[in-house]
Amino acid sequence: MNRPSIAWKLYIAAFYIFLFAPLLVVAIFAFNASPFPSPPWKGWTLDWFVGDGSAFGKPGVLMDPIWLASIGNSLKVAVPVALLAVLLGTVNAWVLERAEFPGKSLVAMMMLWPLVIPGVILGISILAFFSRVANGLEEALQTDLDPLRPGLPLVILGQLSFILTIATLIIAARLRKFDRSLEEAAFDLGASRAHVLRTVTLPFLRPALVGAGLVALLMSFENFNTTLMLVGSEPPLPITMYGQMREGATPAINAVSLLLMLGVGGIASLFALTSKTQA
């Protein structure tokens, strides 16, 4: 095997510098003892994480009710999205890989459409659709239907509309590799369909189920475009970060970004481990 040339090594180094240098700068200035997230450097501090606000007039991220509420809102969205994506993605994968019906190829292709539609357009479409549905039902039922109005329930539906496709593809790829003779052997030994599903099929799918759940959790937590169109009075973390940037950035933004990078890195590492298990 030929050893990489100097030009190739320089290219790799430049690529990773381009990729990680901005993230490193953001992480470093999260500890800057200054009210501004930019030079000059004024010393190290943890006040932007755990400060009470006495030093810079604003509490640290982990002490600020606004940031904590936004993190909580993101979890309220991400956890249901991940669970629904895994559950419905498993059903979809089963239909696409096991069922035979006319138009199956068209259905499989249509499932990919949410991935190529811009997130803003997807969010606006969902907002317009459910607003009209809510208006009609409220007139007919004479009651308020807040879950169909902008808010966390609608954010969950909006994110699920495209994250579900990714979860389906991950689970379907694993199911495609399954040796169905294992199920047939279990049936021949007298096992019921439910018992075979629980003891043979689902254990084989477990790495894909975990991986799909982690990817769904990650994509939900960092989604901005679709969420921005559907959010109400309880903004998730990306929307709060956007609002804080418009008001005037502080190193609190850097602190949140660093925590988010660590969380995303941890989830990505878990997904990589589950992917190795699948292989």
Residue 279 has pLDDT above 70, yes or no: no
Structural domain count, the chain: 1
Range of the domain at 228: 84-254
Residue 275 has pLDDT above 80, yes or no: no
Over range 55-69, report the average pLDDT.
88
The pair of structure tokens assigned to 55 is 């030093």
One-letter amino acid for residue 67 of the chain: W
d(CA 56, CA 149): 38
Q: How confident is the model at residue 88 (pLDDT cuts 50, 70, 90)?
A: very high
Q: DSSP string covering 171-212, please?
A: HHHHHHT--HHHHHHHHHTT--HHHHIIIIIHHHHHHHHHHH
Q: Is residue 159 part of a domain?
A: yes
Question: Which stretches of the chain are assigned E, i.e. beta strand?
Answer: none
Which residue from 215, 19, 231 is spatially nearest to 115, judged by alpha carbons? 215
User: Distances from the Cα of 66 to the Cαs of 123, 243, 245, in angstroms?
Assistant: 24, 11, 14
Rounded to the nearest integer, the mean pLDDT of the chain is 87
**Residue 42's pLDDT is what?**
87
Residue 250 has pLDDT above 90, yes or no: no
Q: Is residue 178 part of a domain?
A: yes
The pair of structure tokens assigned to 163 is 């994250």
d(CA 122, CA 111): 14
pLDDT tens track for 28-43: 999 988 888 878 888 8
Over range 264-277, report the average pLDDT.
74
pLDDT tens track for 99-147: 888 888 888 888 888 888 888 899 999 999 988 888 888 888 878 777 7
Q: Is residue 12 part of a domain?
A: no
The pair of structure tokens assigned to 188 is 């021949």
**Residue 239's pLDDT is what?**
93
d(CA 111, CA 169): 10
The pair of structure tokens assigned to 31 is 């500890």
The crossing angle, in degrees rounded to 10, of helices 251-278 and 202-222 is: 160
One-letter amino acid for residue 94 of the chain: W
Q: Is residue 102 part of a domain?
A: yes
Q: Is residue 7 part of a domain?
A: no
Q: How confident is the model at residue 278 (pLDDT cuts 50, 70, 90)?
A: low
**Residue 73's pLDDT is what?**
95
Q: Is residue 272 part of a domain?
A: no
User: Distances from the Cα of 162 to the Cαs of 89, 114, 166, in angstroms?
Assistant: 11, 5, 7
Q: Is residue 216 part of a domain?
A: yes
Q: Is residue 57 part of a domain?
A: no
Which residue from 250, 226, 222 is spatially nearest to 238, judged by alpha carbons? 222
User: Distances from the Cα of 238 to the Cαs of 49, 90, 119, 243, in angstroms?
Assistant: 17, 29, 14, 9
- CATH number for the domain spanning 223: value is 1.10.3720.10
d(CA 66, CA 43): 26
